[in-house]
């Protein structure tokens, strides 16, 4: 009997050693392996532009290092000169888009300068655990933090500041949001497994602002940290934004700042909205391929005129331009587009194709 007990003890001890070794391996050996991965320093760029990247991954997983600095500043958000104090990642509303492939690790250094007035953090919808990283990235003014997470889900996703409680929506509607694109390692595919490619990509961040008015109907200006918090909160509670804009301001992507393309070029449009539902539409074109809920695991929908993006999500659309001219890319809530500001222009160069469209008769005076 005593001999059997010793055998059982030895078996239990053996199993414990295996279990401990397994835990040690997965907790530490994997971390060591990540440190041995090739390092890529990704240069983040201001929207609507997207970092240089390969559609199909080259080689194995990478450790992608990015750095973002938090800014608290006053910007002009419409053509009437309305000013609003925003919070921004990398001095941009929206924050820059990060691009990776499935299996890559993203290592973010998040810096909150001493001159800031509020603590901030970041919640990556593309990540797994710890409130999307929000629980591990809380930085007070004068602090920096480094977070590393693995890109496991292919698609386009939002990220935003989420410091807790009512501060979450307040920080988001003050501009603290952005996007991440995680591409499949073998590239994008249609429902039949055929490759989908694009020549360039644009990133459009849709932002809703809530600005109180004075007794004369003019927008109030809050330039000092924390000013107008309660008044802005009351406007937020109405769920009715005063401005809905692309890339931080009315007209930010129009005129001289319009997006550009040429006939025959295939363009990806990444559209992110961290707070409200939206309905992107390209006037004069279509969504050749659309991932309306952002997941590249799902086959794209085709030939859509308008697609729905729920608040707190991003979507991707690919279109090949077939005619020259000025296209309008907008939120097809037309009130929000033409009155509140949620629209952009795409100026396309090339030769007109009469077979696709032709003016048969110019406007002519009607003879009764």
In this structure, is the dihedral angle defined by the CA atoms of residues 55, 331, 158 and 207, taken in order, positive or negative? positive
Cβ burial of 212 (10 Å; 0-12, 13-18, 19+) is middle
Give the active site residues.
120, 123, 125, 160-161, 171, 176, 281, 305-306, 332
In Å, what is the CA distance from 289 to each residue of 52, 189, 204, 274, 303? 21, 10, 17, 22, 7
* Count of CB atoms situated within 10 Å of the CB of 12: 10
Residue 208, C-beta contacts closer than 8 angstroms, at least 6 positions apart:
173, 241, 243, 244, 275, 276
DSSP labels, 201-255: EEEEEEEEE---B-TTSPBP---STTTTHHHHHHHHHTT--SEEEETTSTTTTSG
What gap in Å lies between CA 342 and CA 208, rounded to an integer? Answer: 9
* Count of CB atoms situated within 10 Å of the CB of 59: 8
In Å, what is the CA distance from 281 to each residue of 17, 50, 93, 240, 345? 59, 20, 21, 21, 12
Phi, psi of 39, deg, nearest 5: -100, 130
The sheet that has 177-183: what strands, in order across it? 97-101, 177-183, 155-160, 123-124
């Amino acid at each position: 009997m005593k001999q059997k007990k010793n055998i059982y003890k030895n078996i239990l001890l053996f199993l414990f050693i295996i279990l401990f070794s397994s835990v040690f391996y997965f907790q530490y050996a994997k971390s060591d392996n990540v440190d041995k991965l090739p390092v890529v320093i990704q240069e983040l760029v201001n929207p609507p532009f997207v970092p240089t990247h390969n559609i199909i991954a080259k080689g194995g997983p990478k450790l992608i290092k990015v750095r973002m600095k938090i800014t608290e500043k006053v910007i002009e958000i419409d053509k009437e000169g309305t000013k609003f104090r925003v919070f921004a990642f990398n001095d941009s509303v929206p924050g820059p888009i990060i691009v990776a492939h499935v299996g890559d690790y993203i290592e973010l250094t998040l810096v909150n300068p001493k001159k800031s007035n509020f603590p901030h953090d970041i919640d990556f919808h593309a990540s797994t655990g710890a409130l999307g990283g929000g629980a591990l990235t809380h930085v007070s003014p004068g602090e920096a933090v480094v977070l590393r997470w693995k890109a496991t889900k292919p698609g386009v996703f939002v990220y935003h500041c989420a410091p807790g409680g009512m501060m979450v929506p307040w920080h988001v509607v003050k501009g603290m949001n952005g996007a991440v694109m995680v591409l499949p390692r073998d590239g994008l595919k249609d429902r039949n497994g055929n490759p989908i490619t694009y020549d360039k990509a644009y990133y459009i961040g849709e932002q809703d602002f809530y600005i109180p008015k004075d007794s004369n109907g003019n927008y109030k200006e809050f330039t000092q940290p924390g000013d107008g918090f309660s008044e802005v909160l009351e406007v937020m509670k109405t769920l009715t934004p005063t401005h809905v804009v692309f890339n931080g301001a009315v007209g930010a992507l129009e005129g001289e700042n319009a997006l550009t393309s040429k006939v025959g070029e295939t363009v990806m449009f990444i559209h992110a909205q961290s707070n409200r539902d939206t309905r992107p539409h390209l006037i004069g074109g279509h969504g050749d391929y659309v991932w309306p809920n952002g997941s590249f695991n799902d086959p794209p929908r085709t030939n859509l005129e308008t697609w729905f993006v729920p608040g707190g999500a991003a979507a991707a659309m690919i279109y090949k331009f077939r005619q020259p001219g000025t296209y309008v890319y907008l939120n097809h809530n037309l009130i929000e587009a033409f009155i509140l500001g949620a629209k952009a222009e795409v100026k396309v160069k090339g030769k007109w194709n009469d077979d696709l469209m032709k003016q048969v008769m110019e406007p002519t005076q009607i003879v009764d």
